[in-house]
């Protein structure tokens, strides 16, 4: 009797196609699409927190220098060129302009204030009899310089960027001012 056991060598049968390349392909494709989707969703969020918005300056003509008598405040309403199609009537905005004469350097000086109250953005009105700007919504009051006098506004009126070009007063088209994004932000940077 043969006491020898037969050799038990295990032979691993490699089956072509046992680990289908199609499965590996779909794993890679899923990973790639997931990474792409994560990147596409993350970029706007990072941009919101870290990017600095810059928009090209658009200048709006307010009128010739002769149209602004010395020390008189004028309210000028205009259609804001920064408007979007869905803005509707809110694209009609205004500013209060006062010519303050020539400065020590011989250049014309203007006080240009946004018409929006610093509280919630209601349009303020100028009352020359009292020399005050008043907001009809919540009773905000401002001095003739635009500084806060009383009421709920946390600060004075927003100042607009202006320039004199070819004998005409121009202002930089104002966006809706906020405490974090004032109208003079381009001058402060």
pLDDT digits over 89-137, tens only?
878 889 999 999 998 998 999 999 999 899 988 999 999 999 999 999 9
Contact 136, 122 (CB under 8 A): yes
For residue 115 the two structure tokens come to 């018409």
CA distance 171 to 103: 19
Would you list the domain boundaries of the chain?
20-53, 58-173
Count CB-CB contacts under 10 A for residue 171. Answer: 22
Q: Chain-wide mean pLDDT for the chain?
A: 85
* Close Cβ partners of 36 (under 8 Å, ≥ 6 residues apart): none
Contact 69, 110 (CB under 8 A): no
The pTM for the full model equals: 0.68
Which helix (H) or strand (E) segment holds residue 4: the answer is none
Confidence of residue 189 (pLDDT cuts 50, 70, 90): very low
CATH 3.40.50.300 fits 58-173, yes or no: no
- What pLDDT is recorded for position 80? 86
Q: State the average pLDDT over residues 31-53.
A: 89
């Amino acid at each position: 009797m043969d006491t020898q056991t037969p050799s038990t060598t295990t032979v691993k049968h490699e089956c072509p196609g046992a680990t289908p390349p199609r499965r590996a392909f779909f794993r890679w494709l899923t990973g790639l699409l997931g990474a792409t989707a994560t990147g596409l969703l993350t970029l706007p969020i990072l941009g919101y927190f870290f990017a600095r918005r810059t928009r090209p300056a658009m200048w709006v003509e307010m009128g010739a220098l002769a149209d602004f008598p010395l020390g008189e405040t004028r309210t000028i309403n205009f259609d804001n060129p920064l408007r979007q199609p869905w803005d509707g009537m809110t694209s009609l905005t205004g500013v209060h302009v006062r010519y303050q004469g020539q400065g020590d350097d011989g250049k014309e000086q203007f006080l240009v204030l946004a018409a929006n109250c610093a509280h919630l953005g209601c349009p303020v009105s100028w009352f020359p009899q009292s020399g005050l700007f008043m907001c009809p919504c919540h009773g905000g009051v401002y001095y003739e310089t635009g500084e806060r006098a009383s009421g709920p506004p946390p600060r004075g009126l927003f100042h607009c960027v202006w320039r004199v070009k070819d004998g005409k007063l121009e202002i930089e088209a104002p966006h809706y001012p906020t405490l974090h994004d004032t109208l003079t932000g381009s001058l402060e940077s």
